[in-house]
Amino acid sequence: MTGHRAAFFAVLKKELTDALRDRRTLLTVLVSSVLMGPLVLMAISGLVASLESRAEQREVYVDGLARAPTLRNFLERQTYTVKEAPADYEAQLRKSKFSDPVVVVPSDFEAALLRGDVPVLEVVSDSANQRSESGAGRIERLLGGFARERAVLSLALRGVSLQLIEPVQVEERDLASTQTRATRLTGMLPFFVMMAVLYGALNAALDTTAGERERGSLEPLLMNPAERWAIVAGKWGAVACVSMLIAVLSCFSFLPGQWVLRSDTLAAMFQYGPREALLFLVVLLPLAAALSAVLMAVAIRSKTFKEAQASSTVVVLAVSLLPLVNVFNLGGEAPWYVWVPALAQNTLMTRVLKGEALDPAQIAIPIFVCAVLAAAGVWYVARTLRQAALK
């Protein structure tokens, strides 16, 4: 037969038409994947903006303010506004209604301080209440400053040199660039785009294999003189196209997503321009092709769409869990990461977000792995197709 290519394109065109006409499914995937970017960014920027505004407000809530004029004096000299904490601050903190840590002053604070009895200042926060928790460190440092000042003053009065009190000076130097710091916040974006690619492929992959079996249209399809591999390649091409379309949309959705950033700091840190979007695509498109083939290979074994959905859960789980290796492995990136699908893509995209240069070899390896996976998937489906049609 002369028409391998004709058969391939006929199947490709038909499957694309079919997939694009499945409006409801497509719309669900589109809305969730394309809106995902801006929504995640908005959520992160909202959090960062509220942290920033808290830091700028320079407020300290104290329970028992009247009992600690010395502390008040110190705090006000640090240009902090000192406020009396609400009476039921504990209950409010627990319910996350109150988002600042509270300094609790004991009843005989001033007297104890004068006697040198080391009174206890409590900083109350709730570690389940993330915003109060993040403020606690700042308050503790502030109170540490108060303690140090008291110590220095009392020693200086006794004629002790300041160098003796602080024999070592500690200074922090942060090596992270602004972009690296931003990845602590934007680190989940690669995960979201990978999920979008996966769910983009999922429905089409299942429909062209298990769906075809369930409808009883696979057997008549194979009664055409078209080569089996041309049919499978056409189906795979269509699934990969849909998945890639979702990948493109979801990668570029972060560009307008940036406009809604409420935090200037985050906007400055999160550098995601057309260049980053293109690099994301270089990493994601091969993954879309590979996932399409793997999902088809898993689904061709199932007689019904529903059964295929159950067995494809394994693939979905693998793609969502493999990137977590990055989180659990504290030893940093290992060289074998780039050989593992999903983990490799996650690693590379994280690096793009950090603004690090990508080594061509490190891009080539995941592309190679994806090509092998795609070829293996297509081969397996073509091999199983006849058997699948009859059962």
Partner 1 sequence: MIEVRSVAKSFAVPAAKGAGLRGLARLGRRGETTRVHAVRDVSFTAPAGHITGLLGPNGAGKTTTLRMLAALMTPDAGSLAVDGIDVATRPREVLARLGMLSDARGLYPRLTARENIVYYGALQGMEKDAADARAQDLGRMFEMTALLDRRTDGFSQGERMKTALARALVHDPENIVLDEPTNGLDVLATRALRESLRWLRTPAGGSKCIVFSTHIMQEVERLCDSVVVVAHGRTVAAGTVPELLAQTGETDFEEAFVKLAFVADPALAGAAP
> In the complex, which residues of this chain contact partner 1 (CB under 8 A)?
1-3, 6-7, 10-11, 14, 17-18, 21-22, 212, 215-227, 231, 386, 389-390
Minimal distance, residue 220 CB to partner 1, in Å: 6
Minimal distance, residue 308 CB to partner 1, in Å: 16
What is the rounded distance in angstroms from the CA atom of residue 80 to the CA atom of residue 54? 12
Apex 106 CA angle, 100 and 109, nearest 5: 115
Whats the size of the chain, residue-wise? 391
Angle between helices 4-21 and 228-252 (to 10 degrees): 40
Minimal distance, residue 11 CB to partner 1, in Å: 7
User: Which spans in the chain are helix H?
Assistant: 4-21, 23-57, 69-77, 89-94, 109-115, 130-157, 162-165, 178-186, 189-206, 212-215, 218-221, 228-252, 254-257, 264-269, 274-299, 305-321, 325-328, 343-354, 360-390
Shorter beta-carbon distance to partner 1: residue 113 or 222: 222
Q: Is 292 helix (H, G, I), strand (E, B) or coil?
A: helix
CB 64 within 8 Å of CB 107: yes
Minimal distance, residue 243 CB to partner 1, in Å: 19
Minimal distance, residue 204 CB to partner 1, in Å: 12
Shorter beta-carbon distance to partner 1: residue 11 or 246: 11
Q: Which residue in this structure is represented by tokens 């009396």? A: 84
Minimal distance, residue 296 CB to partner 1, in Å: 17
What is the rounded distance in angstroms from the CA atom of residue 139 to the CA atom of residue 55? 11
Shorter beta-carbon distance to partner 1: residue 21 or 158: 21
Shorter beta-carbon distance to partner 1: residue 222 or 375: 222
Q: Which residue in this structure is represented by tokens 């859960």? A: 313
Q: Which residue in this structure is represented by tokens 């785009």? A: 193
Minimal distance, residue 226 CB to partner 1, in Å: 5
Shorter beta-carbon distance to partner 1: residue 57 or 217: 217
Q: Which residue in this structure is represented by tokens 């999903």? A: 342
Shorter beta-carbon distance to partner 1: residue 234 or 377: 234
Shorter beta-carbon distance to partner 1: residue 123 or 222: 222
